[in-house]
Amino acid sequence: MADNTTRIKYRPATELVYVDNSDGKGPKDNYNAASMPIYQTATFKQQSSTQMGEYDYSRSGNPTRSHVENHLAKIMSAKRAFAVNSGMTALDVITRLVKANEEVIAGNDLYGGTNRLLSFLATHNNVKTHHIDTTNSEAIIPYLSEKTRLVLLETPTNPLMKIADIPRISEIVHERCPNALVVVDNTMMSPYLQRPLELGADIVYHSGTKYLSGHHDLMAGVVAVKDDAIADKIYFTINATGVGLGPFDCWLLMRGVKTLAVRMDRQQASAMKIADFLQAHNFKVHYPGLKTHPQYELHAKMSAGPGAVLSFETGDVELSEKLVELTRLWGISVSFGCVNSLISMPCRMSHASIPAAVRAERAMPEDLIRLCVGIEDVEDLLEDLYHALTTSGALKLAN
């Protein structure tokens, strides 16, 4: 039996729920509340004019935020984690580490908002981004130089579900560019299925709006790091710009994290059935849970599951538009990670900010449909999807 000073590491589903403050890092609660208290205050009274307490102003720190950040650091295998007000804020904070005339290497299949921010940095901060095919680890080598500061990965990518070899790319970057940082957007997988810091990455970030909260009633972002010096720089920016997540939103985020495992288990089980269904009807399906996915084995080595987002092609843009609008259970929305199932056309919605010529250059099909599978009964989801497929004529075309 372990003594009280020994930290027992449980399986991921347990770690999501179990809140452990035995290391003394978490905020103190004299009343032992089962749910963390919400310190809904802007300021904290001090004992004197010369000695400040642990907290003074909620922009700089708040016990509720500290509580969720400590928990997030634990489940993400990080030294420190930070909660901010959106996923894009999380990326913005990270890109503040890049100086003018330095460079970023990123994938050629990225979330539209990420692409927009990188374009802004190029225009306003003279930060050049090289977009490469991150499915080929060696493709990064020609672009690495003393100017390289960040290597930004999505895996799986959004929306084509391409897989990057995090360990191999991290190895290459750290060997050739010691000052460069490998950054992974892990929103699609969540810490339950994949922990990039354990695979060699330096920084990982999430849109907490997605799986971490799970109900689409919260805007949040998370940044986690494994180096104290980088963590100090991240905190400085968060404090200086005032983007730390508010107390009530921190409470919502913590509540969502505790149910992540049960939600994700159900959602990805349903996603697997839907991917099989679409593939059986001759649609081209992008989903790392299918053995026909070109990087199925690589993804399985890095992750504990394929997730609950997939995309497929109908072969015709107009048919895709009709199909999306004919669904009833699948809500038309740009986001994912919700308990409700969502459907979208990325090139018309979440990735519309990427110019059409650039989308074509990056081989993003205009007819692509993205499905984000929720927790509804999968038979109802399949029936609704089948109705939309047949009524739109997409099923006939595929067969």
Q: Which residues are catalytic?
A: 59, 111, 185, 210
Cβ-based neighbour number of residue 233 at 10 Å: 15
Q: Are 392 and 319 in contact (CB under 8 A)?
A: yes
Q: Is the peptide bond before 142 cis (omega within 30 degrees of 0)?
A: no
Work out the burial of residue 79: count CB atoms within 10 Å of its CB; fewer than 13 is exposed, 13-18 middle, 19 or more buried.
middle
Residues contacting residue 166 through CB under 8 Å, at least 6 positions apart: 153, 155, 182, 184, 196, 199, 200, 201, 302
